Chains A and B, each alone.
Chain A
């Protein structure tokens, strides 16, 4: 039982992952509101766009920690998501501010359903990795 860097990483990852789960939930709720005409797309995009980069950066930061402490498996399960994030951000519509969502296209049914699906999938991924991080933390704490 030792509190080493690995255990620290997992603890940070747990906290960070909890935030990511919140981001994902917020994302899903926001698009659901859009779908049900509850909110104006301009407002909704204005509230969503600033959160995109923090989410991506937080996720990358956690994975950097995994990289530094050599948790290859944790890193591996996150690499696809990182790649997706990078691809997604590279292909974002022309816009001056940070963010991904363009109020003029966000209400297209295709875009809307894609974003919804993305939200649910990410939520699932974050949840699963959350439990894995718990396992990883306990494992690293009780090993040695």
Chain B
């Protein structure tokens, strides 16, 4: 139980503020309540906010090379110290550090929205998330002023932010054909107008800046804990004001639609988005204005026809009226700008569907009242109305800023990719937030690092999905290392009687005795003991149960969940000892690592290990008790292999540890002088299977050449001269021997893991079958040589992680979906045993899976859908456990909403998996075409969804949510898995494809599109902080500046700087030719780059601030990875430079397009 909290820990999200009255928000009258709550809002604890804020922020900041230490980078580093806390913090983000324990006393539950009471006033996981996204948008709205100028606490010189704002917005220009009134905003007077904006911004800006950068939420002092709306991000207040650009003109948060309202309207009415032409036009207009307005003075935009008009004020809008609850006005002086809902309702019966939904992150947090609701529904009107108010004061420019701000708030802004080639920094945003209509649900929804859906709003029907041309699926990392995991043991686990769904936070409690399943809608009874709350040891309140307070939970399963007694940990190692293996010398390293970490392998007193070596024959090692050294037995008949003796081949690790250690010491020497070229992998596997058959377990295979003896012998298939050919053959297995073996294994709960350390072609495509279908994992160390220390090092770290990581035995995973959806295809390493059940003989924490989802029936009458992944496994202590993850997603009927809610990273993850399938079943060029077509289709359908004019316009308009899609797709097209025209060894390609299928999403993204940083700011930082730093100093860690990510293009490189590229398992430091000597000296301990040899691995230990800071930065990058990456230092002139350059996927190469060319290609295809 060590890894778990043995007591039930309140889910780290528990203290989340619940917004139980959300659903009521739309109702007039809810507002009053709201107002009262307002003053109670507490700033979320600083610690809980840090992580997220900085992420958001770091990505937003433009590259600043000389920036002095960023004031706000402070909180950024994951604390170095105890790993556990780190993990927990990461996993359920913000809570574990600074959270006060959930208040257990307040249990004022309002009907079904039980969770209300608990969260009162507590800062929550979600609040930080929400606020961070709020910030994100804010900063974006502000046009990313470089921190140096824009984020100072003193009011910035007005002109500068204006300029920044303007220049930034220029890029957002939309299509010229739709020119309309908004264009007026641009002409020369604009600067003064912008000044108005800037002034308005100045004050809030400082606050926001302080709030966001320092993560010191106290910056907004007038916020007091809000009992119901605890999630409200503190810096929300200032921000909208900024966006409006009118000092005090607009109630900052009001315009946002409360979730309740959004829920009511869209579902109550037929889909309107596409139906009503006037409507659409309006919406378009709005869009256009938006972008139009963004043009800075003097920008060389397309000439804008049309009168210099502002958005025509809606004549229908009645003059500003007082909102029903006057008391509300005080905090929001401009509330009256928005007439109360009832008045406007007749005017604007159909709000544009695209603006209805609560925007990610923001709406959920808004206090709500009737006027609010109204505004959110019909933003165009709101603007129109606002205009007369402002007319005398401001010219239209700020107005458009306002609109843009809104559109960002709703997460619905678009971007012209052709004009924004440097898209990464502004567009890198954390996973899109799932906006539900219930804030409690929102706050506890499954962590995106565990389960992510490609769409954060599910289209209500298959036809809508087809219109969007986006893939629907989930990527899941079910066994991820998490520490603050609620583990509960109960006599009966509450599940739906019909569909066997585990009870989860998203179920509906009919009353205290009944609950309604959220997947199949059956009403079930609650057992009596469900009333008992294990945390407080009290009865009576079902909503405090951990099952309904955390969407990730682990049950200790009772005996019904066992088909047999839980198996002990069983490990069997198969070593290839043929002459090629001996030449590579892997055995030494493997035995040494194994010897060192023998005690750390997960397992209890029953743990058993065994070893088999094979060349042309199979060698067994018997370590029976009483022997003082291991006995070797050699099996000569490899055609019909059998076990030489029934026992003592697998021995208890505890009892025979000395013998095992002895064996591990002797093995490398034993075969040091072998000259046997054969490798009887098939025979070895067959005996291994016989050995493990009784109990199940893990077989670890080390293979270094093509198996060429006995059963399963293979022929070399690769034609080395054809490695860069257009069409790649032999991606399929040559024989099904290994697949059949894996299936047999999976039936006996045996998993095979493969370490391929080949010198030459070894037919990975065939051999990896043993892992692919048995739930194993594959590691590849091409050209492994013991003479290359970096390879040995990276193998050692990898193997160490492999040995010591957690493991789950005899596992099965079932994915359940809400009625109407079904899993279409699974991706990953497993065997699909039935339509929704995966058999995973072993499950490891580094394995990710993907599922494509398809429609059974339409989802027209449901508001949310859920996916539940339940992983049943035996842990290494012989305990049967069930880990359940549930994610809940809203359903929408609007195409633009679907497009705007897309999660690009998840889409790329899923597309890459589908492409691997395609390359194997059809061929590689099909898969490549599919990538490009998918991209084109998506932009095409977005064009249709937005009703943009057809035909070529010189623009490629993308929703911000999908802005990075072409970038990643291009990365995929140039990835070793899918590239053509560049020489790629077949094994490497197959391994890369395997990684696409099995890597968890965060690592996959690094693998597809490595992170590039310019580390100069680190060095400046190190020099400018005079604090004496020790790596153990936690606070010092927080001082690391957040570096902006650079796009992978050589245009960012310069010869005076050092760059760091994080490719997942490899970190490359690229040292420019003219890096100042003192930097080199301090960082690498050399005086000139000439001292670097061609291949340098590992960061030298130099006692200096710079070196220390860099190390901390690297350790931060390594933080989320299964094992720390190898660091390679590349000199500008070194022969290894090619490795660095080939990963610059935005650039043109001999056989592939540059990013810009790729965009042009797509634009040309988008009709």
Contact = CB atoms under 8 A, between A and B. Distances in A.
Interface of A: 34-35, 37, 40-42, 93-96, 102-104, 107-110, 112
A98 to B, nearest CB: 12
Given A109-B824, A109-B825, A96 B735 contact: yes
B1161 interface: no
A104 B743 contact: yes
B743 A94 contact: no
Given A94-B736, A107-B834, 11 more contacts: A40-B834, A41-B833, A42-B743, A42-B747, A94-B733, A95-B736, A104-B831, A104-B832, A108-B832, A109-B854, A110-B825
A94 B739 CA distance: 10
Q: Is the interface of A mostly helix, strand, loop or mixed?
A: loop
B835 interface: yes
A70 B266 CA distance: 68
Give the dominant DSSP class at B's interface. Answer: mixed
B734 interface: yes
B737 A96 contact: yes
B822 interface: yes
B165 interface: no
Given A42-B747, A94-B734, A107 B739 contact: no
Interface residues of B, number: 23
A22 to B, nearest CB: 26
Interface in B849-894: 854
A112 B824 CA distance: 10
Contacts of B835: 34-35, 37, 107, 109, 112
A13 B833 CA distance: 39
A81 B214 CA distance: 73
B837 interface: yes
Contacts of A108: 824-825, 832
Contacts of B854: 109
A110 B832 CA distance: 14
Nearest to A95: B736
Contacts of B743: 42, 103-104
Given A42-B747, A103-B743, A37 B824 contact: no
Nearest to B834: A37
Contacts of A34: 834-835
Nearest to B839: A40
Interface of B: 732-737, 739-740, 743, 747, 773, 822-825, 831-837, 854
B766 to A, nearest CB: 9
Contacts of A93: 736
A37 B812 CA distance: 15
Nearest to B747: A42
Contacts of A107: 832-835
Given A37-B837, A40-B833, A96-B740, A104 B734 contact: no
Nearest to A38: B834
Contacts of A35: 835
A51 B191 CA distance: 81
A112 B739 CA distance: 20
Nearest to A45: B743
B739 A104 contact: yes
B736 to A, nearest CB: 5
B738 to A, nearest CB: 11
A5 B1137 CA distance: 79
A104 B829 CA distance: 11
A109 B822 contact: yes
A4 to B, nearest CB: 48
A35 B737 CA distance: 27
Contacts of A94: 732-736
A110 B921 CA distance: 13
Contacts of A102: 736, 739
Residue with the highest number of chain B CB atoms closer than 10 Å, among A34, A102, A109, A110: A109
Contacts of A37: 834-837
Nearest to B831: A104
A104 B773 contact: yes
A96 to B, nearest CB: 5
B462 to A, nearest CB: 13
B943 to A, nearest CB: 29
B803 to A, nearest CB: 28
A34 B832 CA distance: 11
Contacts of A95: 736
Contacts of A96: 735-737, 740
Nearest to B854: A109
A41 B834 CA distance: 7
A10 B674 CA distance: 69
A62 to B, nearest CB: 31
Nearest to B769: A104
Best-buried of B737, B823, B833, B836 by chain A (most CB within 10 Å): B833
28 contacts: A34-B834, A35-B835, A37-B835, A37-B836, A41-B833, A42-B747, A93-B736, A94-B732, A94-B734, A94-B736, A96-B735, A96-B736, A96-B737, A102-B739, A103-B743, A104-B743, A107-B832, A107-B833, A107-B835, A108-B824, A108-B825, A108-B832, A109-B822, A109-B824, A109-B825, A109-B854, A110-B824, A110-B825
A34 B834 CA distance: 7
Contacts of A109: 822-825, 835, 854
**What 10 pairs between A and B have smallest CB-CB spacing?**
A37-B834, A107-B832, A109-B824, A95-B736, A94-B736, A108-B825, A104-B773, A96-B736, A94-B733, A42-B743
A124 B733 CA distance: 36
Contacts of B747: 42
A112 B854 CA distance: 14
Contacts of A103: 743, 831
A108 B823 CA distance: 9
Contacts of B734: 94
Nearest to B742: A104
A31 to B, nearest CB: 11
B930 to A, nearest CB: 15
B732 A41 contact: no
A94 B714 CA distance: 14
A93 B825 CA distance: 18
A75 B854 CA distance: 41
Contacts of B836: 37
A39 B734 CA distance: 28
A37 B832 CA distance: 11
A140 to B, nearest CB: 46
A16 B854 CA distance: 40
Contacts of A41: 832-834
A103 B832 CA distance: 8
Contacts of B736: 93-96, 102
A112 B834 CA distance: 11
A32 to B, nearest CB: 12
A122 to B, nearest CB: 23
Contacts of A40: 833-834
A112 B825 CA distance: 11
A37 B839 CA distance: 13
A109 B825 CA distance: 6
Nearest to B852: A109
B1124 to A, nearest CB: 34
A95 B736 CA distance: 5
Contacts of B837: 37
A86 B836 CA distance: 32
A115 to B, nearest CB: 13
Contacts of B834: 34, 37, 40-41, 107
A35 B834 CA distance: 8
Contacts of B824: 108-110
A34 B732 CA distance: 25
Contacts of A104: 739, 743, 773, 831-832
A89 B834 CA distance: 25
B922 to A, nearest CB: 11
A87 B254 CA distance: 65
A30 B743 CA distance: 20
A30 to B, nearest CB: 14
Contacts of A42: 743, 747
Listed residue (B735, B825, B835) with the most chain A CB atoms within 10 angstroms of its CB: B835
